[in-house]
Amino acid sequence: MLIYYITDRRQFAGTDAERRAALLRTIRAAAVAGVDYIQLREKDLGGRELEGLAKEALKVVRSEGGARLLMNHRTDVALAVGADGVHLTGNDVAASEARAMAATAGRSAPFLIAASCHSAREVRLAESHGADFAVLAPVFEKVNVSGGIGLEELRRATQKDRTPDMRVEAGDTRRSFAVFALGGVDVKRAAMCAAMGAAGIAGIRLFQQGGDLGELVKAIRGI
């Protein structure tokens, strides 16, 4: 399975400086462990502070291997710092507009676009607008929110049981649209999500709770 770490430095203890340092250490550990995507989701930061943190995070990620850094919401900051892409929320521009911004900015390297979705219908909409993948949440539960959308909605979003596409059998090389499961996912539940067709899992606390990220990633990869 693919693995997607979403950051939140406010979950760490200490002063602002200590939280920032803890976040960068966790980003480094995640990159070393082999996490595929890291989404910098520090929503409380202003543009200048966010850009500064993004540059530091990107330097860490680039020095430690193949993880890709995505900016939450801010396509402009992602393009300014040379991040690998952007994660769009429900209130953002469509993926097609974000891709047009990247083209206008002269971006030569691939610019990844993830979309935050809360239903199978929203996943299909994100796909139609040209997103590279969707993050579906909350599949199980969210802090202070009872319940989630459930595994059946995840199955619908991934189209797990859809009829095979004859275009693929005829040689069409297009791949199915990847959906990541977010919200109350642990290693045991990751297996359940995989059974429903999820391409990967995403989380915040899962990666920031102080455990061995190398062992965590190994366990998820083994599903």
Of 70, 128, 77, residue with least CA distance to 101: 77
Name the DSSP class of 176: P
Task: Please choose, from the candidates 43, 4, 38, the residue with its C-alpha nearest in 3D space to the C-alpha of residue 24.
Answer: 38
Instruction: Classify domain 2-221 at the CATH topology level.
Output: TIM Barrel (3.20.20)
DSSP three-state, residue 210:
coil
pLDDT at residue 164 is higher than 70: no
The reported pTM is 0.92
- CA distances 107 to 50, 58, 74, 91, Å, are 20, 17, 15, 24
pLDDT, tens only, 15-74: 999 999 999 999 999 999 999 999 999 999 999 999 999 999 999 999 998 899 999 999
CB-CB neighbours of 191 under 10 Å: 15
**With pLDDT > 70 as the criterion, what percentage of the chain qualifies?**
92
pLDDT at residue 142, as a whole number: 63
d(CA 1, CA 96): 27
Q: For residue range 80-127, what is the model confidence (pLDDT) as tens digits? A: 999 999 999 989 999 999 999 999 999 989 999 999 999 999 999 999
